[in-house]
Amino acid sequence: MNRYHTSIATLALAAGVTIAAASLTAQQQQKKTLSDGVFSAEQAQSGKAGYDGVCKRCHGDALQGSQGNGPTLKGSPFLAHWDKDTLGSMWVKIRDTMPQGAPGTLTEEVKIQILAYLLQQNGFPAGKAALPIDVNALEEIGIQQRGVWDGIFTNAQADAGKQAASRCQGCHGPDLNGTERAPALKGNAFLADWEDGSVNKLFSKIRDGMPPGNVDSITPEVKLTIVAHLLRENGFPAGTSELALNADALDSLQITKKNVDTAAPNFALVQVIGCLSADQTPRGQAWKLVNASEPVVTRDNAPSAAALKAAEGRALGRATFGLVSVDAATRSGALTGRKVEARGLLYRDGTYADLNVTSLKPLAADCTK
């Protein structure tokens, strides 16, 4: 094993470097996201009654939290906390710890309804089927913040904005491509200014500063239609719901490029499923994972029981990872040849990749699937 790679990964672990901002890769095994309609409208409506009866005393009528009692359960801060995680993790949190100090006072049926209500209040669409009380099924649903690729405005709203934006053409040009007086409102330069931010950031810029010197000549409602028009002009798809004049709702909608490289970055804390193997070298045994899955960014150094159970059914892959800092149980050979779930800090350089291990857990007695 390359000593340089080993020392880099070891130093990263000692420093506690954790980068949790990477998106899920196409190879990950999650089959759904919250934009796929994973709860029913009826379930969410029932959840409102449960929330109002128990949760709002700490988290507030509008899910915005209260100082010293409970955090917000709605909007960008809430979604950012859970972004790239799974619905299984959120469910376990609610099921096992809420209400705080008395988690046994509500049934699991009521709690799953409350979870559906939280999703609805965060702008995710309802579907035909209710959320199941099944950790493994919920672990297969990824939590991702909604964004401009999810159909967040209607064509009618964008059409109204196109008409209103005729007043913008004097500065930004008839095709919004910019002039000497003002920048372009579409294209790569425009997107570079606003990507990885929220729709609310773009709206606030227009609401508070446009048109220069005569801001109040266009109402915020009309300016929101102009935002819808700009999004459509930049290639983002229309949907069935209009943008709402609500700061929290707009703040939860992210402006992102499509099909960007979302591989886990170096020094991210990741989960990998693979087969534990050992090679004898002149310097001793070198441990590695073979037939391994692509790394998935995680927030936990070790898996919960539910996460470990869900990992049992996840597929192997084609990757190989060298393992650094394996524990005594691993070095004993008890897990060699078995399917395992590994967590650790990732380091890749070209074709070389290793994990500085924080956890290594068995998933099966062999590595046949």
pLDDT at residue 52, rounded to an integer: 96
What does the alpha-carbon distance between residue 94 and residue 59 come to, in Å, rounded to a whole number?
Answer: 13
- The closest of 184, 207, 194 to 253, measured between CA atoms, is 194
Please, which pLDDT band fits residue 127 given cuts at 50, 70 and 90? very high
Strand-pairing partners, residue 278, are 287
Does residue 321 share a domain with residue 247? Answer: no
Query: 159 lies in a domain?
Result: yes
pLDDT band at 275 (very low <50, low <70, confident <90, very high): very high
Residue 109's H or E segment, with its range, is helix 108-121
Mean pLDDT of 150-179: 94
Q: Do residues 231 and 275 share a domain? A: no
CB contact at 8 A, 75 and 252: yes
* Residue where a domain stops, chosen among 197, 228, 255: 255
Average pLDDT of the segment spanning 50-70 = 90
In this prediction, residue 314 has a pLDDT band, given cuts at 50, 70 and 90, of: confident
Q: Among 141-145, 276-280, 334-338, which is the least confidently predicted range? A: 141-145
Enter the pTM of the model.
0.55
pLDDT tier, 1 (very low <50, low <70, confident <90, very high otherwise): very low
Q: Are 287 and 339 found together in one domain? A: yes
Band (pLDDT 50/70/90 cuts) for residue 53 is very high
Sign of torsion over alpha carbons 66, 67, 68, 70: positive
Choosing from 102, 118, 142, the residue where a domain stops is 142
**Are 277 and 350 members of one domain?**
yes
Q: Is residue 277 part of a domain?
A: yes
Q: What is the mean pLDDT of residues 95-100?
A: 94
In the chain, the number of structural domains is: 3
Residues of the chain with pLDDT > 90, as a percent, come to: 56
pLDDT band at 68, cuts 50/70/90?
confident
* Same domain for 267 and 251: no
Q: Tokens 């390359």 map to which residue?
A: 2
pLDDT in tens, 278-308: 988 887 788 999 999 888 888 789 988 878 8
- CA 272 vs. chain centroid, Å, equals 18
Per-residue pLDDT, averaged over 181-190, amounts to 92
CATH number, residue 322: 2.40.50
pLDDT band at 219 (very low <50, low <70, confident <90, very high): very high
Residue 16 CB contacts under 8 Å (≥ 6 apart), including other chains: none
Q: Average pLDDT in the 346-351 region?
A: 84
Is 307 in contact with 363 (CB distance < 8 Å)? no
Q: How large a percentage of the chain has pLDDT more than 70?
A: 90
Rounded mean pLDDT of 255-279? 80
Q: State the residue range of the domain holding 344.
A: 3-22+263-362
**Angle at 276 (CA atoms; ends 275, 277), nearest 5 degrees:** 115
Residues 6 or more apart whose CB falls under 8 angstroms from that of 35 comprise 124, 125, 144, 146, 150
Compute the distance between CA of residue 172 and CA of residue 180 in angstroms, rounded to an integer: 9
Query: Do 184 and 220 fall into the same domain?
Result: yes
